[in-house]
Every structure is written in structure tokens, then in C-alpha cells.
Amino acid sequence: MKTPNLGLNLIDRTSPTTTYFDLEKYLDANWRAIDTKVGVAGGLAVLDADGKVPADQLNVKDPADASTTQKGIVQLTNATNSTSETLAPTAKALTTHAADAVKHTTAAERTLWNSGIIVRGVVPADFNSAIANGIYLVNATDWSAFINYPKNVEQGSAYTYGVLEVMTAGSGALSQTYRSHGQMEVWVRSAYNSGSGFASWQPWQRLLGLSDFNNLKQLSVDGKGVVAGAINGKGGNVSASNTHEELAAAITNLPVKRWAQGTFNGQSATAPNFSSGATMTVGVNNMSFSPTRVFIRVRLKDTSNVLYIEGFATATIPQTGDISMYGRFNNRLSLSSLTQQSGGFTCMVGSSRINDYAGSTSTAVIEAFEWFAYE
């Protein structure tokens, strides 16, 4: 028989007839077995000087690292953004994470999100009193019972059925947005709190909608049609379908009637005798075009400086537009034979003889002064 722990030999006492005692088997072998178990792992411990069992006498394995599937040693970390499944955060890491507003919802954000949009009920009679965040209902047959409602000089009043949305940015600024149901219009305005409440209200403005843009587009088309008609009336060839740039180019390219002015500084001529009229040719050669009509201030007098006629006479191409001047006793002063030349024109100035009471022996003198020429 053997002991269960050290495996020592035992005398079998179940048989009373056993009288033989084997000293080697039951004493010496047992002492040797005990001795081999002293101070080894799995055997009998020998305490060290501190009264403790040395580690080399213990049959103990090193513990494994902990994981999601087994118990074990856990490594601590201060990291707040780790994805490890074997590291555990320290108290410091948890505190850092709790203070990081970027990584989680803050109390201020929760308050804002939980506030939502509140339906405030029917709008007050004075729209200036609607200053709390939320939606106000507008349901009226007309605006007679209201003040400061959506309206302006150019666009009139808003439709009386809709909703008023009020939004504030803290206590310093506020915006009101009115959306009408029937006309699908949106009106906006804002107010500022200078310390004594919302008093600085801006005027209502209606936001432009699709119909407004369509109207503007049609006005643009109509306007281009009018401009195109004017251009074509001056010899152009455009239509309302042309772009603004094309219309502008057409205007630039229209033929322009140029004009110029100057003076002949009293250029003069005297008739050869009292029975003949005076003639002279005047001309200009420093212009950038050749005119088809000229106006010249001319004068008819006699050699004694008695004035008979003075004024602007006209000469044209064709000459059907020539205009002469006449005075008493059928005295005449005229322009004729307007001729275009490079850089200007030439023109003939002529007069009748001097006619006066009982005939006349005065000799005619003609003079030319300011002139105007037109292309």
C-alpha cells in the first residue's frame, strides 16, 4: 500500500496474519522518498530565513495576459483614443475623455438639441412682441388687427395666412421669417438688442421667388426688344433674342453722324462794280469727314459798311436743301455748290447787287464767319 500524497509504503494491516516487517521497504525506502521531496516543487517546502517558501519550491505558472476570452494580467494606459482590446484605461484617461467636448455631446449641446422648435401658438397682434424662439401661427382675414406685420412700400403686404419663425442668437440678435401659404412668399427682417430689449428692427424684405425672376427675365426681353427697334431704326440689324453684349456691339457699330465747327474769321469779297453781286469760295481741309450740310454765318453790306443782310445760310448735298436769305428790295445772300473734298468741303458764297431806294450805286461786300458742318 502507498500513501496518497508522498507515495510512502504502508503496512497492510487488513490481514492480521501479517507478521513479517520489511525494514528496507517500510523505513529506509520511506525516508529516502521523503528526503527527495524536500525543497522541490510539488514536494515538502523548506522555509527560508524569512519564514517564507522560496519561489523555486512552488509549482506555480506565470499568469497569462488578459483578453476578451480569458482572465489574466491587464496593462493600464492613459490613452483616450486607443482601439486595443487588451489595454485598460486609467482614471486619468477617463477624466481626460470626459473633459473632451469634441468626442462626446456636451451639456450645452444636449440643452440645444432637447429644446427643438416650439410651436408658440397664434402670433401676437404686434409682430415686435414675437421674440421667443419658435413657430407662430398666422391666420387672419386681413391685417387690420396687427401692427409691424410683413409689408414694404414696393411690394405691399404679405398674405395673411402663414407661419412666423423666430430665431435668436443669444440675447443680442433676432431674426423673423414669415412664410405665407397662399402666395408662397418669404419675408425676413432682423432686430438687435442694445441692452433695453429688441428695439432696432430692420424693415421687412420679401425674398425674390421664381415668379419674380420670370418677370425680371420678361422685362429684360421686352427692354432688349425696344433697344433692338431703336438700333434697327438707325440702320442696324438685331432682335430681342440678341445678348446684351451683341446689342452693345451693334450700337457701337452704328453709323454716327459727325459734325464740326470753326470760323472763316470774316473772309470777304467785294463785287467788281455796283451793278454786280459779290462771290467767293470758302473751304475747310482739316476735318476727319466730308459733310453733306453746312451752315455759315454770312453778311451782306456795301463799301460804306451799310448792313443789308446777316444770318446763317445753308448749303447741302444734294442742293435741294440750299437755303438763301433775302432782305428788303430783294437783296439776296446765299450758299451754293457745296462740294466734298478730302478733309472737308468747299462752298460758294454769293449775293445780289445792292438794291436800295431810287436804285443804288453802292458796291456789294460779302463776309463769312462761323460755320457748322454735318456728315
Could you say which DSSP state residue 9 is in? B
Alpha-carbon dihedral 265, 266, 267, 271, rounded to 10 degrees: 180
Q: What is the pLDDT of residue 8?
A: 77
Instruction: Spell out the residues 6+ positions from residue 254 whose beta carbon is closer than 8 angstroms to its own.
Output: 231, 234, 235, 236
| Of residues 346, 355, 284, 276, the one with CA closest to residue 315 | 346
Q: Find cell 445780289 and name the residue.
A: 352
What integer pLDDT is reported at residue 122 of this predicted model?
94
Strand partners, 293: 316, 374
pLDDT recorded at residue 20: 63
- Residue-wise pLDDT for 293-320, tens only, equals 999 999 999 999 999 999 999 998 888 7
Closest of 296, 309, 303, 297 to residue 269, by C-alpha: 303
3-state secondary structure 299-326: EEEECCCCEEEEEEEEEECCHHHCECEE
- Quote the pLDDT of residue 186: 95
Q: Give the model's pLDDT for residue 253.
A: 87
pLDDT, residue 95, reads: 87
Place of cell 455796283: 274
Low-confidence stretches of the chain (pLDDT beneath 50)? none
Q: What is the pLDDT of residue 304?
A: 93
3-state DSSP assignment of residue 268: strand
Using CA atoms, how far apart are residues 235 and 250, in angstroms rounded to an integer?
10
- Write down the pTM of the prediction: 0.42
Give backbone dihedrals phi and psi of 208, rounded to 5 degrees, phi first: -70, 135
Which residues are CB-neighbours of 334 under 8 A, at least 6 positions away? 313, 322, 323, 324, 325, 349, 350, 351
Could you tell me how far CA 94 lies from the centroid of its own chain? Answer: 46
Given this model, what pLDDT does residue 113 score? 66
Helices (H), the chain: 23, 29-36, 91-99, 107-115, 210-233, 244-252
* Residues forming beta bridges with residue 226, ordered by sequence position: none
- Which residues lie closer than 8 Å to 214 by C-beta, 6 or more apart? none
Q: For residue 281, what are the CA distances in angstroms to 101, 263, 310, 322, 350?
A: 99, 14, 18, 16, 9
pLDDT of residue 183: 75
